């Protein structure tokens, strides 16, 4: 592949360069660990075992501390319980109106509870509310048994989903998050899981914003105090055991930008709330996320040799979003690197190069450029003519 700047139509040059000057990168979670960009102002000092702050849409890491250190998830485990149950609902293995008979094992669960009664039946819908809003250990076991027949089998399902999501430092040993040597995770993995829940199951995620729930005559409040403190926060989950400390996954949306914070191992409920609030404010104050290109927007039109058309329109099949530190977008440079010469026939979707984005002589990220339409071969005369031109070139 020859690294050559593509030939743009003059009407597209100004548009492309204007968009590129706005671009920092669509940072993956790994970019920060490899020396990714940071804001001009350092992240707030957070007294926690570990934490991470990420942009939901792009996965850009905005701040982190010991994000890959293994920690106990406590009741944050229930995010995976809900995620796995949501998959079962989507696949038709269970149904939201199913009535679940409460087992003795579920009824006897200690810790936070929905106050289920053994032998009674409760709908899947109610159990999900009990897990998300009340953090019910009893509800978690009851739902696990309904999905997989036993909590043990359900845990295997939880760990499969974790592997599928790339949660490489996570292991679950139960559906509730009780202390166990085989129950561990990281702040980064929990942020990945939380983003997947929001992205794949937005209707189930909405339960996270409900502030209170009454069942069996008992009224309980959502333990996530961020819901009462910040109107932009709509989730996600608290967790606490003596060994894990106080943990909190929060997510908020401001001006169309969603961020997720995972705070692990603080000393108190107040501490996890203050830490989460500080991280969210930091993310919104010093970073921004915006769409740079629409799906199938033309960003380059290089020449096609031997084709029925002289050029082929290139762009991305998906919308392109980017997260950037405020004040740095003006420093980014973009170069289109194409497979040249481009010979007909060309098929729509065929990748013909990439756009490389650089900051301070460092490659930040790259965007595949694919043909947006077919370009069939031209006539015999046009092909011979282009062959001659290529020979002379």
Annotated catalytic residues are 75, 78, 135
Q: Strand, helix or coil at 274?
A: helix
Neighbouring CB atoms inside 10 A of 214's CB total: 11
Please check whether residue 44 is in contact with residue 286, taking contact to mean a CB–CB distance below 8 angstroms: no
The residues facing 323 across adjacent strands are 289
Compute CA distances 229 → 30, 232, 252, 274, 277, whole Å: 31, 9, 12, 10, 9
DSSP state of 329: G
DSSP state of 361: T
The residues facing 293 across adjacent strands are 320
Q: Strand, helix or coil at 119?
A: coil
Rounded to whole angstroms, the Cα distance separating 81 from 158 reads 7
Rounded to whole angstroms, the Cα distance separating 229 from 349 reads 47
Residues 6+ apart with CB under 8 A from 11: none
């Amino acid at each position: 592949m020859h690294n050559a700047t593509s030939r743009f139509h003059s009407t597209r040059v100004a548009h492309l360069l204007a968009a590129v000057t706005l671009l920092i990168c669509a940072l993956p979670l790994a970019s920060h660990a490899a020396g990714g960009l940071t804001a001009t102002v350092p992240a707030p000092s957070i007294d926690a075992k570990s934490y991470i702050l990420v942009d939901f849409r792009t996965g850009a890491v905005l701040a982190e501390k010991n994000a890959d250190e293994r920690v106990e998830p406590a009741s944050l485990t229930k995010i995976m319980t809900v995620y796995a149950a949501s998959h079962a609902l989507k696949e038709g293995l269970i149904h939201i109106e199913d009535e679940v008979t409460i087992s003795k094992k579920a009824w006897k669960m200690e810790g936070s509870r929905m106050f289920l009664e053994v032998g009674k039946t409760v709908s899947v819908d109610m159990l999900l509310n009990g897990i998300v809003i009340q953090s019910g250990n009893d509800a978690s076991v009851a739902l696990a048994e309904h999905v997989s027949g036993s909590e043990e089998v359900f845990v295997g399902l939880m760990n499969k989903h974790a592997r599928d999501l790339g949660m490489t430092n996570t292991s679950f040993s139960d559906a509730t998050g009780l202390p166990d040597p085989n129950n561990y995770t990281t702040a980064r993995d929990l942020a990945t899981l939380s983003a997947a829940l929001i992205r794949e199951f937005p209707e189930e995620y909405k339960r996270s914003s409900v502030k209170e729930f009454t069942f069996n005559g008992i009224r309980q409040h959502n333990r996530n105090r961020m819901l009462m403190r910040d109107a932009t926060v709509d989730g996600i989950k608290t967790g606490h055991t003596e060994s894990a400390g106080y943990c909190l996954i929060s997510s908020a949306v401001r001006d169309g930008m969603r961020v997720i914070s995972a705070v692990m191992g603080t000393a108190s409920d107040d501490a996890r709330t203050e830490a989460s609030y500080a991280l969210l404010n930091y993310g919104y104050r010093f970073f921004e996320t915006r769409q740079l290109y629409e799906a199938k927007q033309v960003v380059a039109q290089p020449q096609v040799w031997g084709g029925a058309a002289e050029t082929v329109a290139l762009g991305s099949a998906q919308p392109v979003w980017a997260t950037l530190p405020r004040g740095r977008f003006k420093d980014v440079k973009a170069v289109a690197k194409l497979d040249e010469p481009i010979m007909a026939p060309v098929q729509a979707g065929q990748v013909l190069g990439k756009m490389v984005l650089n900051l301070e002589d460092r490659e930040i990220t790259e965007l595949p450029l694919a043909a947006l339409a077919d370009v069939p071969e031209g006539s015999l005369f046009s092909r011979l003519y282009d062959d001659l031109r290529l020979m002379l070139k």
